[in-house]
A and B are shown apart, each in its own frame.
Chain A
């Protein structure tokens, strides 16, 4: 089937959808688009189903050649984009002809861009998802967890051109220039940490370590004293903030292991996981306590809008 040919995969480009659920008890993680907010907008712009396959482009460098006539939408990081020789905007749709070349430069703010195609990118599903999880060797075009490679063809249908649509600027991602505020729903072993430890945790500006990826973000800052409770491995939720013995927090993200045995303070609120997805190593963040009542109220309010 025709679609888009990968001329250059760029730094690291992955096929993603909303991810896998229902298989965590087999040890299979969720995967899926890291920034679900930008991913959601890319599909909405193309009038796609909310779980349609997209490309998650880390930093940039991706070059595609269209083999079909269709429409695409790009959202997420601020990244220069050219279609043939013209520079085009982010957060809107573009009509594409067979033979067009779409080239991404490198992100100037944020670090993950999402490219959706009208009708969605087609790839074999594995555990009901095409999400690429490199660590598990699952998903993507090969079903074996491989990132996009030169010469790959991403299948999609032809679609007639229509009026171009864009997302109003007030809904674009905001990229924190200074310290990002990350809301964390307190939970798990939170009560076993002393008040002094949790106060220090919420007062610290943490720096994202270079050793961070879709599995987890390692943070650097003054060490937290970890309570000496004996732990048995237990289920890990998306965004869980665990504290290994060295006292440096690790936020467990979309490609996390499903069970683990370190104490955890709670889990990052999903709307702020999208924010983390756009933060490169070296960026700073500070946690803010968030109650389960607040979190569920905000979720209800944002869907009823």
Chain B
């Protein structure tokens, strides 16, 4: 454990935030995952919700049944047990198909120009990395994945698009993500995933969860259509 960590800090009348390290890393992700699971079991009804993120975990509890000092103690005890066990968690590996092309990824050329690479090299670098799901938020099912190869890291668009299609795979700096629903957005679009990424009526609601590892698999236009992708989402419809 890094010096001074974990930090356990009050966030509100019924929540406490735990910082595990200065920067996110594999070990931090393991600890967050372990702590979240252990607290779910240990706290039962006293626990209301958990929000894991890059290097932190927000623990929301029922203040009528457990006080902030007791919560801090439970959190510290739990993390202490992780140190003792020192077992790396086995991450799930999720693979998602992506149709990378200028018609499905209108910012590929921009990234190629910025990096001095060819479009094919940009695609290759994006799909050869194994990403970690660091957090979910912004919209239901929106997963923040890291980290993109430095060579294809790309700042956000100066003017966000009004309309990013559902399934768009995108890059912002060293983060990458898939838009689970149509929304405005300022990330650089590199491809489209034909699969649904958030379904309120079906379990699992999302194919991935915080702590998972994720790989993208390059598919062609025909496979994209076969897997349910709509050609209406291809160039021209993205505004």
Contacts and interface: CB of A to CB of B under 8 A. Distances in A.
Interface string A252-291: 0000011110001011011000000000000000000000
B183 to A, nearest CB: 10
A303 B64 contact: yes
Interface string A134-147: 00111000010000
Contact of B54 (A138, A232, A299): A232
A303 B52 CA distance: 30
Given A24-B49, A138-B200, 17 more contacts: A24-B50, A25-B136, A26-B141, A27-B136, A188-B11, A234-B56, A235-B11, A235-B52, A235-B53, A236-B58, A257-B138, A259-B53, A264-B11, A267-B15, A295-B63, A299-B13, A300-B63
Interface of B: 9-15, 17, 24, 36, 48-58, 60, 63-64, 67-68, 135-142, 144, 181, 198, 200-201, 205-206, 209-210
A238 B58 CA distance: 12
A188 B9 CA distance: 6
B90 to A, nearest CB: 19
12 contacts: A26-B140, A27-B138, A27-B142, A138-B200, A187-B17, A235-B51, A236-B51, A240-B11, A259-B137, A266-B11, A270-B14, A295-B63
A270 B13 contact: yes
A223 interface: no
A185 interface: yes
Contact of A28 (B48, B57, B68, B140): B140
A260 to B, nearest CB: 8
Contacts of A143: 200
B140 A21 contact: no
Nearest to B211: A25
Contacts of B140: 26-28, 136, 138
Main secondary structure of the interface of A (DSSP, over half): mixed
A185 B12 CA distance: 6
B54 A234 contact: yes
Contacts of B49: 21-25
A25 B50 contact: yes
Contacts of B142: 27
Q: Which of A23, A188, A234, A266 neighbours the largest number of chain B CB atoms within 10 Å of its CB?
A: A234
Q: Which has the most chain B C-beta neighbours within 10 Å: A126, A267, A300?
A: A267
Contacts of B139: 27, 136
